[in-house]
Chains A and B, each alone.
Chain A
Amino acid sequence: MTEAILTAEGVSKDFPLPRSLSDRLAGRPARAVHALSGVTLEVRRGETLGIVGESGCGKSTLARCLVRLHEVDGGRVTYGGTDVATLTGAERRAFNRRVQMIFQDPYGSLNPRMTVRQILAEALSVHRMVPTARIPDRIAELLALVRLPSDAADRHPHAFSGGQRQRIGIARALSVEPEVLVADELVSALDVSVQAQVVNLLLELQERLRLTVVFVAHDLRLVRHISHRVAVMYLGKVVEVAPTATLFDDPRHPYTQALLHAAPSLDPGSRSRRAAARGELPSPIAPPPGCPFNTRCPHAFDRCPAEVPFLTSRGPDHVAACHLAAPRFESAR
């Protein structure tokens, strides 16, 4: 259970911005969006790791780095102890097969000109998962696995609803029998009623197929529902990682506290109008010095803008990156 299968070690990823002619002439340095700056995280075999954070915090970029859709600019991603950036040819294909991704947009992630059968058959034949004669049977099995009717195979993606398309995406990922499934905002584009269906399907498949799942989302309730451990990201950094129950009951980073507090409560008696974090998310083009959260943190003191806090232990399997040992969030309740 505790063996790390996929790790990020100090991973950085910058997206350079187009440089205008006047910038070049004036000799101003090239600017870049610092999507990830020094992310260290491990994914353990068999667990569901939730990754949460606001829009723009780099969680999707991290997901894409983990499956090597992006090459990292600094640090490394390892799979089974091997740096994935060094894999080429057949080894790279094998890595792609074992670490699969499911995409956010159910309308963009399936080729609109291919039927479901073509989509699945292609995955099966490229990776030689089953003999050619067995492909139709295997497609039927996969469709049954994600609870789509068997006559869905010969339709094009446009004939399906968003939730059905996400299940086709899951079937495509599962067709190559992966060990790790990286789900990037799997259900955020779906109606709430459909979200539960798809998430519960994923949970069931995880148990049945002993999958390791990285679940990237901004919906805290969802992450709490399905994750064993949760990593909280802020401005391209991981600020806290803990087992789900610990993180939700005893958050140690002020940003995690703010995030949990900002989630609307179903109990009208405990509603609060007080904002947990001041101001806006700073631009990832020019992140603030020191702790990235210092511009919005209610506990910020003079050490925060000066020194970057590292992830330090806060309890069993619980790390947070804050200069304060135990910041307390004063709620106005």
Chain B
Amino acid sequence: MTDAAHLEAAVAAGRPRRARPPGPLVWGGAILGLSLFLAAAPSLVAPYDPLAFDYGAILQPPSPAHPFGTDNFGRDVLSRVIHAYRIDMGIAVFATVVPFVLGTLVGAVVGYAGGLAETVFGRVVDAVITFPFLVLVIAIVSVLGPGLINMYIAVSLVGWVFYARIVASEVKVQKRLDYAEAGRAMGYTHARIVLRHLLPNAITPAIVYWMTDMALAILLGSSLGYLGLGAQPPAAEWGVQIAEGKNFMATAWWISVFPGAAIVVTGLGFSLLGDGLAALLRVRR
């Protein structure tokens, strides 16, 4: 086989995989695209003001006028679920972006440097994972005081460790491969080797974990909202709504169930996007 023919055959063999985007990516992207739209412009979609009391329509079951029913103040549950997208999508992004960026950089440096840096980092990881995540975050929030900003700070203080651990172990594998050695033999600086060569090959698991982590952050935000440590009532937030509905669970299930369903659907969207990205970013050798 001539070179040109060989090349053509090799390229043709690799083509069909790229032609069709993976199903999970499409579905996950669709769910999250819709979620982002609702977060950006909730009032375009929501039929009512999420904070307006209506004492004439208290604890109404789902009906054409109120598709998700009303709560004990007569607030429209659908409108509250829609307005909650802004807070909960915000939690998903802001509670994870700092850990992702910081953890990835620390992990890349630690994994590349090895030695003492790795030992010290290992002890930090041990110290953090000894405590259950939620307990640690609650402890930090109770020191800083409740509220969304303090929750972001608390989650960031703890969350970067997990990204750093993932990236460090991946960089440790990558730096032993010949292409990293080739970079050193070319006389490239350490910064160039880490940022240009190792990180692009090591970051995929961290990106996939990031997607999962955004779903977990929504759960965490809702849990803290439920406990009164995150978003504060009367703000529309899914965890807050579930907490508000818990006293009426037997008589007005819709107050808690619909925000819960929103959490599930959004979490599913992130998980699907994570799976899709994993397939899309897979390195072909």
Contact = CB atoms under 8 A, between A and B. Distances in A.
Interface in A265-292: none
Contacts of A97: 186-187
Contacts of A100: 185-186
A96 B184 CA distance: 8
A156 B185 contact: no
8 contacts: A97-B187, A100-B186, A103-B178, A126-B188, A147-B3, A149-B3, A152-B7, A160-B7
Interface of B is mostly: helix
A109 B285 contact: no
A158 B14 contact: yes
Contact of A149 (B4, B181, B284, B285): B4
A159 B11 contact: yes
B64 to A, nearest CB: 54
Interface stretch (B141-149, B193-201, B271-279): B193-201
A29 interface: no
A108 B186 contact: no
A158 B15 CA distance: 12
Contacts of B3: 147-149, 164
A113 B284 CA distance: 9
Contact of B184 (A69, A109, A149, A156): A69
Contact of A107 (B11, B186, B192, B285): B285
Nearest to B181: A69
Residue from A108, A111, A164 with most neighbouring chain B CB atoms (10 Å): A111
Given A97-B187, A104-B178, A126-B188, A112 B196 contact: no
Interface residues of B, number: 26
Interface of B: 3-4, 6-7, 10-11, 14, 177-179, 181-188, 192, 196-197, 200-201, 283-285
A252 interface: no
A160 B6 CA distance: 8
A48 to B, nearest CB: 19
Interface in A132-176: 147-149, 152, 155-161, 164, 169, 172, 176
Interface string A169-203: 10010001000000000000000000000000000
A123 interface: yes
A69 B185 contact: yes
Interface string A319-333: 000000000000000
A164 B2 CA distance: 11
Contact of A109 (B178, B192, B200): B178
